């Protein structure tokens, strides 16, 4: 709303021949929420963007989802992760890690089984892991505890 009002006021001033209104910085909470909105809520993680994804965890929870295309439980879990991420309106980042293409990331986090979900906050693993897939309700419960 703040940005819209400023834009409208500047447009009216320009139309009336007056000087444009000076730019006013938005409140910091607005800028922080705008930055979160600008970040994607679903990311495919690679070695080249891992640090960027970890940086995102300073603003909202990141769920590292270690998965593989050949993994049946991973395939079962995927539509529910998508559904819950959409329902939660991107309040957490679904960061998908292809286990076959990103062995170094698996090693870094000590992942031995697929699927594995890790809760990342402030660049570090926080809280419990979810190893395996026990159905949509167990997944929803784990996500609710982020």
Closest by CA to 39, choosing from 92, 96, 102, is 92
21 catalytic per annotation: no
Residue 131 binned pLDDT confidence (cut-offs 50, 70, 90): very high
In angstroms, the CA 121 to CA 59 distance is: 8
42 catalytic per annotation: no
In this structure, the answer to whether residues 119 and 51 fall within a common structural domain is yes
Write down the pTM of the prediction: 0.74
Catalytic-labelled residue, pool 43, 50, 62, 74: 74
The residue whose two tokens read 């997944």 is 139
In this structure, the answer to whether residues 48 and 30 fall within a common structural domain is no
In this structure, the answer to whether residues 91 and 120 fall within a common structural domain is yes
Structure token digits, residue 65:
């989802």
Structure token digits, residue 23:
């730019």
Number of domains within the chain: 2
State the residue range of the domain holding 134.
40-144
In angstroms, the CA 28 to CA 35 distance is: 10
Predicted confidence (pLDDT) at residue 18 exceeds the cutoff of 70 = no
Catalytic-labelled residue, pool 54, 56, 71, 81: 71
Predicted confidence (pLDDT) at residue 135 exceeds the cutoff of 90 = yes
Backbone angles phi, psi at 119, to 5 degrees: -90, 115
């Amino acid at each position: 709303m703040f940005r819209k009002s400023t834009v409208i006021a500047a447009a009216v001033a320009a139309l009336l021949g007056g000087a444009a209104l000076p730019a006013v910085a938005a409140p910091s909470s607005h800028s922080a929420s705008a930055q979160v909105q600008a970040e994607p809520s679903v990311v495919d993680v690679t070695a080249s963007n891992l640090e960027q994804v970890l940086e995102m965890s300073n603003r909202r929870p990141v769920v590292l989802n270690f998965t593989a295309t050949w993994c049946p439980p991973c395939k079962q879990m995927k539509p529910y992760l998508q559904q819950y991420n959409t329902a939660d309106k991107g309040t957490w980042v679904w960061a998908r890690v292809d286990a076959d293409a990103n062995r170094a990331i698996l090693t870094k986090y000590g992942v031995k089984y697929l699927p594995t979900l890790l809760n990342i906050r402030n660049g570090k693993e926080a809280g419990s892991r979810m190893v395996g897939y026990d159905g949509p309700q167990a997944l929803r419960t784990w996500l609710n505890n982020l």
